[in-house]
């Protein structure tokens, strides 16, 4: 190229000039919006590929002087479990990284023991102009109603921690709930004598046919069935998360059952069961549960809890927000299902683990 020859402009204006269309038409193609004929769309896309054009997302977002908003709807940490602090920290870290690109995150917290707080926070989101939602689905019927409203308003959403089967979410980041339980069954196989029995404990105010805790239980039962294990599985549903009620329910169970050797708790409230075993002098029973939380680690260090199954809650929150960022700004859709690793933590390796 001669020194006095003008270099071609590689931008929306140049694409529009070569395609003989308006800048608005090019913008529609870049943002995958309707209103452009197939022939024109293919022509513009060919020019984009020829020029290897990459839109300056940062400059475009700033020049629009508009902040895109993502709503994050998840439970708040409770006195019984600090689990939800970890996803929230992941969300906050992602928010700090994407804020320079014109994206803001608003967090809506609900009480996981009160379905009305979920509904009120969900309605608050729908009343405002959010471009996407990160959702930890609880209270199945109300969660389904909320995502139906998201569908009607064309609001993309990502699930974390647990999903709702049959729903068209943009992505899911969280554990394979069934496989988590299956792993629990595998652990129990090696630490429980063939002549002993196992107690499965679900602790939640909301337990129905589709509850995520029951999918973990299904995994345990499937493992025992497939391997034809002789241990009998007992089930105890505790529908109040206060320790007084948990202790009372366990007292009633053990008053009639004396052959339990191991307990498998399907969520992070395993520390409440550990506290009970310690107070009742039953710390010799094998105890397996979920999540790398301070209260659980304390009982892990003293051998009251034998194993914790952990699945990166910080990463769930972080990756969920980053997936929505990629979708909104770069028009890149994430993989539909993104399972977290299933990590087994014991007293011997907990000091090397991070959530």
How far apart CA 40 and CA 38 sit, in angstroms, is: 6
Which position has the higher pLDDT, 251 or 209? 251
Fill in the DSSP letter of residue 352: G
Q: Please, what are the domains in the chain?
A: 12-55 (1.10.260.40), 67-175+313-340 (3.40.50.2300), 177-310 (3.40.50.2300)
Please, which residues bridge with residue 105 across strands?
Answer: 70
Mean pLDDT of all residues in 225-238: 92
Lowest mean pLDDT among 58-72, 162-176, 282-296, 331-345: 58-72
- Mean pLDDT in the chain? 89
* pTM (two decimals): 0.80
Confidence of residue 173 (pLDDT cuts 50, 70, 90): very high
266 — phi, psi (to 5°)? Answer: -85, 5
Q: Concatenate the DSSP letters of all residues of 281-308 into one string.
A: T-TTSEEEEE---HHHHHHHHTTSS-EE
Cα separation of 342 and 176, whole Å? 8
Query: How confident is the model over 191-216, as a mean pLDDT?
Result: 82
């Amino acid at each position: 190229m001669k020194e006095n020859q003008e270099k071609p402009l590689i931008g929306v204006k140049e694409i529009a000039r070569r395609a003989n269309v308006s800048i608005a038409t090019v913008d529609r193609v870049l943002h995958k919006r309707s209103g452009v004929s197939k022939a024109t769309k293919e022509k513009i896309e060919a020019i984009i590929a020829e020029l290897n054009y990459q839109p300056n997302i940062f400059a475009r977002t700033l020049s629009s002087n508009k902040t895109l908003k993502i709503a994050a709807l998840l439970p708040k940490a409770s006195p019984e479990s600090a689990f939800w602090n970890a996803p929230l920290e992941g969300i906050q870290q992602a928010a700090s990284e994407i804020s320079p690109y014109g994206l803001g995150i608003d967090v809506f917290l609900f009480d996981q023991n009160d379905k009305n707080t979920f509904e009120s926070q969900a309605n608050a989101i729908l009343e405002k102009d959010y471009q996407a939602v990160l959702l930890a689905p609880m209270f199945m019927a109300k969660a389904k109603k909320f995502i139906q409203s998201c569908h009607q308003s064309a609001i993309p959403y990502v699930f974390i921690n647990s999903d709702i089967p049959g729903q068209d979410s943009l992505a899911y980041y969280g554990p394979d709930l069934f496989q988590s339980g299956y792993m629990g069954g595998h652990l129990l196989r090696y630490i429980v004598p063939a002549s002993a029995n196992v107690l499965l404990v679900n602790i939640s105010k909301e337990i129905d046919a589709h509850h995520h805790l029951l999918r973990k239980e299904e995994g345990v039962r499937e493992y025992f069935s497939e391997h034809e294990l002789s241990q009998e599985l007992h089930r105890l549903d505790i529908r109040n998360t206060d320790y007084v009620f948990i202790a009372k329910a366990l007292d009633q169970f053990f008053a009639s059952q004396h052959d339990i050797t191991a307990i498998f708790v399907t969520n992070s409230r395993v520390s409440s069961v550990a506290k009970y075993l310690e107070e009742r002098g039953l710390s010799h029973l094998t105890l397996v549960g979920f999540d790398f939380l301070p209260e659980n680690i304390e009982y892990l260090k003293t051998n009251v809890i034998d194993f914790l199954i952990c699945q990166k809650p910080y990463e769930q929150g972080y990756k969920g927000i980053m997936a929505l960022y990629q979708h909104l700004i770069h028009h890149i859709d994430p993989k539909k299902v993104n399972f977290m690793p299933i990590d087994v933590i014991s007293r011997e390796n907990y000091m090397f683990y991070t959530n």
